Chain A
Amino acid sequence: MQFPILSVIVFTPILSSLLILLIPAERKSEIRVAALAAATIALFLSAWAYFAYDIPAGGYQFVEKYTWLPALGISFHVGIDGMNAPLVLLTGVVMFTGVLISWGIDDRPREFFAFLFILATGVFGVFVTLDLFMLFFFYEIAVFPMYLLISIWGWKETREYAAMKLTLYLFIGSVISLVGALAMYFTSGLNTFDMLELEKAGFSVAFQQLWFPFVFFGFAVLGGIFPFHNWSPDGHVAAPTAVSMFHAGVLMKLGAFAALRVGIMLLPEGAKFHLPWIILLSLVNVVYGAYIAMVQTDFKYVIGFSSVSHMGLVAMGFATLTHDGMLGAGVQMFSHGVMTALFFAVVGMVYDQAHTRDIPHLSGFRKVMPLVAVAFIIGGLVSMGMPGFSGFIAEFPIFMGVWQSYPWIAIVAAISIVITASYIIRIIGKVFFGALPEEFEHHVHDVTALDKVALVFLSVILIGVGVYPSIMVPMVESGVTHILRLLGGA
Chain B
Amino acid sequence: MTPVSFEPSMILAILPEILILALGVLVLVLDLILPDERRGVLGWITAAGLLGIIGISLAVARPGAEARLVWGGMLRQDWLGFVFNMLFLFAAAITALFSTDLARLGKRGEFYLLMLASTLGMSLMASAADLIMLYLAIETTSIPLYVLAGFLTRDDKSTESGFKYLLFGAMTSTVMLYGFSLLYGFAGTTNLYGLAQSVMSNRLPIVALFGSLLLVLVGFGFKISAVPMHFWAPDTYEGAPTPIAGFLSTASKAAGFAVLMRVLISVFPTDITPWPAVIAAISTATMTLGNTLALAQRNIKRLLAYSSIAHAGYALIGLVAVYNPVSRSLGISSVVYYLVAYVVTNLAAFGVVAAVGRVVGSDEIAAYAGLSRRSPWLALTLLVALLSLAGMPPFGGFVGKFAVFASVVQSGQVWLAFVGVLNSIVGLYYYLTVLKVVYLYRSEDEDKPLPVTPSYVTALIVLVVGIILIGTVLAPWFTVSNTAAAALF
Contact = CB atoms under 8 A, between A and B. Distances in A.
Interface of A: 21, 25, 67-72, 74, 108, 110-111, 133, 136-138, 140-141, 143-144, 147-148, 151-152, 160, 164, 167-168, 171-172, 175-176, 178-179, 182-183, 185-186
Contacts of A160: 436, 440
Contact of A141 (B394, B405, B436): B394
B429 interface: yes
A71 B474 CA distance: 10
Contacts of B393: 136-138, 140-141
Nearest to B435: A148
5 contacts: A137-B394, A140-B393, A168-B425, A179-B409, A182-B410
A179 B418 contact: yes
Contact of A178 (B376, B402, B410, B439): B402
Interface stretch (B252-260, B453-461, B475-483): B475-483
| Residue from B405, B422, B475 having most chain A Cβ neighbours under 10 A | B475
Q: How big is chain B's contact interface, by range? A: 35 or more
A111 B372 contact: yes
B106 to A, nearest CB: 30
Given A70-B475, A71-B479, A144-B390, 19 more contacts: A21-B380, A69-B475, A71-B482, A72-B406, A108-B373, A111-B376, A133-B402, A160-B436, A160-B440, A171-B425, A175-B421, A176-B418, A178-B405, A178-B421, A179-B409, A179-B414, A179-B417, A179-B418, A183-B409
Contact of A152 (B402, B429, B439): B439
Given A21-B380, A171-B428, A179 B402 contact: no
Contact of B392 (A69, A140, A182, A186): A140
B288 interface: no
Nearest to A69: B474
Given A179-B414, A179-B417, A108 B436 contact: no
Most B Cβ at <10 Å: residue of A67, A175, A183: A175
Contacts of B440: 151-152, 160
B247 interface: no
Chain A binding surface, main DSSP class = helix
Contacts of B405: 178-179, 182
A479 B3 CA distance: 64
A21 B376 CA distance: 10
A167 B429 CA distance: 9
Contact of B409 (A21, A141, A167, A182): A182
B432 interface: yes
B409 A108 contact: no
A358 B382 CA distance: 39
Interface of B: 372-373, 376, 380, 383, 387, 390, 392-394, 398, 402, 405-406, 409-410, 414, 417-418, 421-422, 424-425, 428-429, 432, 435-436, 439-440, 474-475, 478-479, 482
Contacts of B387: 144
A175 B475 contact: no
Top 7 A-B pairs, shortest CB-CB distance: A175-B421, A69-B474, A182-B409, A137-B393, A186-B410, A179-B417, A144-B392
A144 B435 CA distance: 11
B393 to A, nearest CB: 5
B398 to A, nearest CB: 7
Per DSSP, chain B at the interface is: helix
A18 to B, nearest CB: 11
Contacts of B425: 168, 171-172, 175
Nearest to B326: A186
Contacts of A21: 380
B349 to A, nearest CB: 16
Contacts of A67: 475
A164 B432 contact: yes
A148 B439 contact: yes
Contacts of A172: 422, 425
Contacts of B373: 108
Contacts of B376: 25, 110-111
Given A67-B475, A148-B439, A179-B414, A140 B372 contact: no
A318 B133 CA distance: 63
Nearest to A177: B421
Nearest to A154: B440
A164 B421 contact: no
Contacts of B402: 133, 136, 178
A455 B26 CA distance: 69
Contacts of A164: 429, 432
Nearest to A74: B474
A186 B331 CA distance: 14
A453 to B, nearest CB: 30
B475 A179 contact: no
A296 B422 CA distance: 34
A148 B393 CA distance: 15
B417 A108 contact: no
A151 B406 contact: no
A167 B394 CA distance: 17
A144 B397 CA distance: 14
A178 B421 CA distance: 9
Max chain A Cβ within 10 angstroms of own Cβ: one of B409, B424, B429: B409
A403 to B, nearest CB: 39
A68 B475 contact: yes
Nearest to B476: A69
Nearest to A110: B376
A67 B387 CA distance: 26
A152 B390 CA distance: 20
A138 B472 CA distance: 11
A70 B475 CA distance: 7
Contacts of A70: 475
A123 B30 CA distance: 55
A154 to B, nearest CB: 9
A382 B482 CA distance: 55
A160 B402 CA distance: 28
B432 A147 contact: yes
A176 B222 CA distance: 32
B398 A137 contact: yes
A147 B436 CA distance: 9
Contact of A151 (B409, B429, B439, B475): B439
A111 B393 CA distance: 19
Contacts of A108: 372-373
B287 to A, nearest CB: 13
Contact of A168 (B372, B417, B429, B478): B429
Contacts of A140: 392-393, 398
B428 A168 contact: yes
Contact of A176 (B383, B410, B421, B439): B421
Contacts of B432: 147, 164, 167
A167 B478 contact: no
Contacts of B421: 175-176, 178-179
A151 B372 contact: no
Contacts of A143: 392
B417 A182 contact: yes
A468 B482 CA distance: 56
Nearest to B482: A71
A363 to B, nearest CB: 34
Contacts of B424: 171, 175
Nearest to B427: A171
A160 B432 CA distance: 10
A167 B409 CA distance: 25
Given A140-B392, A182-B406, A183-B409, A72 B478 contact: yes
Given A108-B372, A179-B405, A71 B417 contact: no
Contacts of A148: 383, 435, 439
A471 B380 CA distance: 43
Contacts of A74: 474
A276 to B, nearest CB: 26
A164 B439 CA distance: 14
Contacts of A182: 405-406, 409-410, 417
A143 B372 CA distance: 21
A219 B405 CA distance: 19
A490 B435 CA distance: 49
